[in-house]
Structure 1
Amino acid sequence: MADLQTKVIELARRRGIFWPSYEIYGGVAGLYDIGPIGVRIKNKIVDLWRKHFIKDNSDFVVEIDTPALTPYKVLEASGHVDNFTDPVVECNSCHNVYRADHLVEEIAKVTTEGLPPSELDKIIREKGIKCPKCGGELGEVRLFNLLFETRIGPYSTNKAFLRPETAQGMFTSFKRVYEAFRQKLPIGIAQIGKVGRNEISPRQGLIRMREFTIMEVEFFFDPNSDVEPPLDRLYDLEINILRGDDKARGEEKYTKYKFSEIVNEKIVINKWMAYWMGIASNFVNSLGISSFYFEEKLPHERAHYSKQTFDQIVVIDNVKVEISGHAYRSDYDLSRHSAYSGQDLSIFKKFDTPKIVKKKTLILNKDLVTKEGRDFSKTIMEIINTKTVEEIERMILNKEKVLGKDIDMYVKIVEREEKISGERVIPHVIEPSFGVERCLYLTLLNSYMEKDGRIILSLPKRLSPYDIAIFPLLEKDELIKKAREIYDSLKERYDIIFDDSGSIGKRYARVDEIGVPYSITVDPMTLTDNTVTIRDRDSWQQIRVNITDLMNVLDRLFKGEDFNKLGKLVSNNE
């Protein structure tokens, strides 16, 4: 993989896909510019994600856009202020700082996910791990918070952070979106946006960055509702899963399951969770990546709020990389934000028909309490305000006293029937989350191939930066003019790059390296018989077609019809 990554990074620099930011000043680790070709591919990945997660689910998913700057209180409520940390260790000699778990995994070859700093520190001492740079002794492992801190306005007390994820903006906006969406559950809120994480040791190109783009859905649903996901869309799927129980026994091989098995056998504990994992499978397949599986996280590996978590792992060149995360977050997020903000983020669930329920009610003899004086009144009111009706009922049954007086003289519990039309519910949340740049990078790695000493970026057609390249074979006015006419006739339907500089071989090589699937060449024969050649990127085969049929042939090619059957095959001079 290292060799493949080196080749892809070099290709990306040379062909304007991506490169380190601020290169003229030496660059900054974890920051990358996405170049003109990279932006075209990246935008198509985003559009494809929107299609799978939003457009194809538009009956229950909407998209919003929230600020990257996040007030302190929001990330305090979410738990990021206290828990968004990674373990670091510093060399006592050269003072280089390393991500402790990565260092242990690379040198000791042991799995470290979920291990506390004390355990990492123990492994470093037992294995005699030293500083990779100078060989010096390593200090004590400590936790480092990954939030980028800033201030809003001129006041030092108005502390804020660059958001580490887009999720919190969706949680805090939930009630507004719910009310605008006809007060209906389930509802998915999607967002695509920049986030920042102050990574300790960014590495592997676009795999681990300090600033990147996230595509997330926070899917809100009533866990007791009988509303079913549209599972019939996915029943033809087979999904590879490495289950937590198998991991706990030391097994590392995933098992292939039918989608129906995943649901019916509750391998994934919630149907909506299974549904979004199925959608994620289809999306990753559409990136041209077919080798992946879902790894269930063990209890000590997943976040404290998660009932179940799966990482979607892509395997390229025998190396495993996470492309997405899927978490059943329960009602943790809305409950926390309700508590910290003082705002009710529950929703009212109306019953189909009103229900008659028996409800215990507390009755206070205010006149008698008042006669007992101020101290007694204060004490009895503290009990009422801090205890449940059931707890006070137990005090009455146990004949407990308040300042020496029997509580049942002042408080009684009665049971009454009430007609209720609904109940308040705090929705649960399923979260599928992708990093855009990571999707871009893994797509490039998966598409990279070499043929006869030349590089081909064999991207899926829908992700290619341009659909077609148009070349005049020679720099002759009549050929250039004809090529421009073809360009003008096709540009409304296709993304086209026009190139008339250099030899035809070099031009073919340039578009192969950025993944353009088809090249149209105008040559002297075009001027006599009105035909052009169409060249296929991956096979280098060429067919000759009449210009009057060109639009039809191209449409059929992009629908997936056999290249060699759509025109007269001509000799390949590559």
Structure 2
Amino acid sequence: MSTRPADQELNRETLDAVLKRRFFYAPAFEIYDGVSGLYDYGPPGCALQTRIIDTWRDHFVLEDDMLEVDTTMLTPHEVLKTSGHVDKFADWMCRDLASGEIFRADHLVEEVLEARLKGDKEARGIKEDVVEDESAKKRKKKVKEIVAIKLDDNVKEEYETILAKIDGFSGPELGEIMDKYKIVNPVTGGPLEKPMEFNLMFETAIGPSGKLKGFLRPETAQGQFLNFNKLLDCNNTKMPFASASIGKSFRNEISPRSGLLRVREFTMAEIEHFVDPLDKDHHRFDEVKDVKLRFLAKDVQSAGKTDIQEMTIGQAVETGLVDNKTLGYFLARIYLFLIKIGVNPDRLRFRQHMSNEMAHYATDCWDAELHTSYGWIECVGCADRSAYDLSVHEARTKVKLQVQQKLDAPLVEDKFVCEYDKKKFGPLLKKAAKPVEEWFESRTQCELEDLAKALEAGKIVLPEIEGVEVAGTELDKSHIKIEKKTITTHVRDYTPNVIEPSFGIGRILYSLIEHCFWTRPEDASGAKGVLSFPPRIAPTKVLVVPLSSQKELAPFTQEVSKKLRQARISAKVDDSSASIGKRYARNDEMGTPFGITVDFDTVKDNSVTLRERDSTRQVRGSIDAVIAAINVMTADDVAWEEATKDLTPFDSTDKE
């Protein structure tokens, strides 16, 4: 199967017309003027999404023996407070006080600087981009007026450096950039407020009283972490293992844009691979070590560049570019999945998060980015989240989310331990005694050593401890002893680390559509759009076309349809009065990879013609032989040449 010719640029206007005409997706509530960032999938879009998810399940859940769960979308405030989402799950926005218009700060900076760079290149003849509505036209017009200027080389270099680092800037830094380069409302030219944080979660109330505050989940991960103990039991307490979840997530985007690429409700597919922090090797790493990937490293971005390094994942792990083998294994598996569903490998890269962009608890994080007409789009994130999630939920709930490992040989080590004089410790602290004791037990060995020195010097002054008022309370040796003792351990308790690949299905779907779309040369009927989906993920696999409406062909058309259904191959019949060429052309737009023509020779010898979408090649054979060929191409990814080698080449006289 081929994709768009290398020398053919995407015409987004043509593609958008096809997607709209064939109802792949459309704005939700459109007859009520719609709501930004909400979309409905039509029949082909729904089928395409289902095929992508089915392939994802086969590729990850089945092949890697994962434990799939389906957890609730409603999440109590307390859970997301503990996970850090309530305080930190935010983007930076800025407001035009005169018009009330709101912008996402990093996107605004990116849009204006890119427009200025483009304007510098085209100062003598700026080309207008395709726009979707009147407000966008006004913005483009204003941006066009602003950017039709000459930039000196130093300013151009500064712009390019900022764009290379755009994902790593804080709100105050974005504000400084906006001030320095006089970035204002692109439509009105009005000044903007300083960037401020906006939490992206949708808040709701659970129950009729409204007292239980909650949110629509921003990700599917938390449900997997909270069920860790149950999942560990399902895996017979063996480590490592992975869980997986597919479902809806919600983010109250500041300025939804670019169709499916930035929306407020979307489907996510997430994996949580739980691993021993002391052993992050993967037993299947050797299977993928020679997979070659294109990397954009964090130090390259920090230097304001976007140079790509191409190497095998084995080399990336060996050199330390990728932190460990388990993370590397999943990067390679992500690549293989994206290629399997039809992504163009030349338009796929893995971008490493910069140090000021990465979560404080993460040890390494990479985004699989796909290049589209909107630029490079993050479609999959893959992070080593260390032990953060399980640790914070354990600390909050006091429920152990740990693994017990029986040691082959006893472990003998000297450790600082705490002993409490209950007759003095309890009466002094009263109800705070247990929380304070838990605080001591949660200290590291280094911290306990420092506390032992303080105690030896006379006293420990308690700091602020969450949930109790004990700050400033003094403890001496009559209350507590902290001494080093020789401890023999037969069981090791540890909190697993988590490697998390997270997939945005809508973004993957749209990027894939762009990668697969191309047009045949224009003829009397106009340009013919083609979506070259791999057979495995095409919304409909086969178009059944009777040559004419004469009754004698009907039984054979019905027989073909029945046998396709029995083979679990999705198909539809087009018995309209349009020519065969037009019937095939409109299904090429839908991405249907195969067509079966039922003609008058079928009546004679039970043979049919099989057409391949991209090349329009045709072969002929019996109904059963043709369906068998389709089956191996759709289910097993067998190439056309191999699948049809026993069928007879056929030259059609009906020009399409």
TM over 0.5: yes
Residue by residue, what CA displacement relative to the aligned partner does 1:170-195 show, whole Å, maximum 9, x if unpaired? Answer: 11111221122211211211000001
* Alpha-carbon distance between aligned partners in 2 of 1:300 and 1:84, rounded to the nearest angstrom: 16
1:435 corresponding residue in structure 2: 504
Residues 400 and 406 in structure 1, CA contact (< 8 A), matched pair in contact too:
yes
The residue type equivalent to 1:220 in the other structure is: F
Residue by residue, what CA displacement relative to the aligned partner does 1:219-267 show, whole Å, maximum 9, x if unpaired? Answer: 1111113763311221331111111122222331211111220222221
How do 1:55-204 and structure 2 match up within 5 A? Answer: 55-58=62-65, 61-109=66-114, 110-111=162-163, 112-204=166-258
Root-mean-square deviation (CA, aligned residues, Å) is 3.0
Local SS of the residue matching 2:167:
coil
How do 1:431-510 and structure 2 match up within 5 A? Answer: 431-452=500-521, 453-493=527-567, 494-503=569-578, 504-510=580-586
Local SS of the residue matching 2:354:
coil
* Alpha-carbon distance between aligned partners in 2 of 1:398 and 1:525, rounded to the nearest angstrom: 102
Residues 518 and 534 in structure 1, CA contact (< 8 A), matched pair in contact too:
yes
2:127 corresponding residue in structure 1: none
The residue type equivalent to 2:508 in the other structure is: C
State which of 479, 487, 491 in structure 2 corresponds to 1:422: 491
Bigger drift between 456-465 and 406-415 goes to 406-415
Residues 420 and 479 in structure 2, CA contact (< 8 A), matched pair in contact too:
yes
Q: Which runs of 5 or more residues in structure 1 are unaligned?
A: none
Residues 168 and 354 in structure 2, CA contact (< 8 A), matched pair in contact too:
no
Residue by residue, what CA displacement relative to the aligned partner does 1:510-560 show, whole Å, maximum 9, x if unpaired? Answer: 211111111111112222343221111111122222335333443455521
Residues 9 and 205 in structure 1, CA contact (< 8 A), matched pair in contact too:
no
* Alpha-carbon distance between aligned partners in 1 of 2:489 and 2:593, rounded to the nearest angstrom: 63
* Alpha-carbon distance between aligned partners in 2 of 1:410 and 1:446, rounded to the nearest angstrom: 69
* Alpha-carbon distance between aligned partners in 2 of 1:149 and 1:447, rounded to the nearest angstrom: 38
Bigger drift between 89-98 and 337-346 goes to 337-346
1:275 corresponding residue in structure 2: 329
Local SS of the residue matching 1:285:
helix
Residues 469 and 499 in structure 1, CA contact (< 8 A), matched pair in contact too:
yes
Residues 545 and 568 in structure 1, CA contact (< 8 A), matched pair in contact too:
no
Task: Report how many residues are paired.
Answer: 567
Local SS of the residue matching 2:255:
coil
Cα gap change, 1:408/1:13 in structure 2, threshold over 3 Å: closer, same or farther?
closer
Cα gap change, 1:536/1:80 in structure 2, threshold over 3 Å: closer, same or farther?
same
How do 1:268-417 and structure 2 match up within 5 A? Answer: 268-289=322-343, 290-291=345-346, 292-316=348-372, 319-359=375-415, 390-391=449-450, 393-395=452-454, 397-398=456-457, 416-417=485-486
Residue by residue, what CA displacement relative to the aligned partner does 1:455-496 show, whole Å, maximum 9, x if unpaired? Answer: 111101101112211111111111122111122223211211
* Alpha-carbon distance between aligned partners in 1 of 2:332 and 2:39, rounded to the nearest angstrom: 31
Local SS of the residue matching 2:409:
strand
Cα gap change, 1:516/1:92 in structure 2, threshold over 3 Å: closer, same or farther?
same
* Alpha-carbon distance between aligned partners in 1 of 2:365 and 2:338, rounded to the nearest angstrom: 18
* Alpha-carbon distance between aligned partners in 2 of 1:381 and 1:305, rounded to the nearest angstrom: 28
Cα gap change, 1:484/1:74 in structure 2, threshold over 3 Å: closer, same or farther?
same
Local SS of the residue matching 1:206:
helix
| TM superposition shift of 1:499 | 1.6
* Alpha-carbon distance between aligned partners in 2 of 1:397 and 1:532, rounded to the nearest angstrom: 92
Local SS of the residue matching 1:165:
coil
* Alpha-carbon distance between aligned partners in 2 of 1:553 and 1:385, rounded to the nearest angstrom: 66
Local SS of the residue matching 2:355:
coil
| TM superposition shift of 1:564 | 7.2
Residues 103 and 254 in structure 2, CA contact (< 8 A), matched pair in contact too:
yes
How do 1:506-517 and structure 2 match up within 5 A? Answer: 506-517=582-593
Local SS of the residue matching 1:456:
strand
The residue type equivalent to 1:215 in the other structure is: A
Residues 302 and 309 in structure 1, CA contact (< 8 A), matched pair in contact too:
yes
Residue by residue, what CA displacement relative to the aligned partner does 1:99-134 show, whole Å, maximum 9, x if unpaired? Answer: 111111111343332322222222222222221232
| TM superposition shift of 1:47 | 0.7
* Alpha-carbon distance between aligned partners in 1 of 2:459 and 2:630, rounded to the nearest angstrom: 87
Residues 288 and 447 in structure 1, CA contact (< 8 A), matched pair in contact too:
yes
Residues 541 and 594 in structure 2, CA contact (< 8 A), matched pair in contact too:
yes
Cα gap change, 1:116/1:401 in structure 2, threshold over 3 Å: closer, same or farther?
closer
Local SS of the residue matching 1:57:
coil
* Alpha-carbon distance between aligned partners in 2 of 1:353 and 1:159, rounded to the nearest angstrom: 49
Q: Which runs of 5 or more residues in structure 2 are unaligned?
A: 1-7, 115-161, 462-473, 522-526
Cα gap change, 1:548/1:225 in structure 2, threshold over 3 Å: closer, same or farther?
closer
Local SS of the residue matching 1:192:
strand
Residues 282 and 329 in structure 2, CA contact (< 8 A), matched pair in contact too:
no
* Alpha-carbon distance between aligned partners in 2 of 1:50 and 1:64, rounded to the nearest angstrom: 12
Cα gap change, 1:7/1:339 in structure 2, threshold over 3 Å: closer, same or farther?
farther
Bigger drift between 161-170 and 335-344 goes to 335-344
1:568 corresponding residue in structure 2: 649
* Alpha-carbon distance between aligned partners in 2 of 1:480 and 1:306, rounded to the nearest angstrom: 62
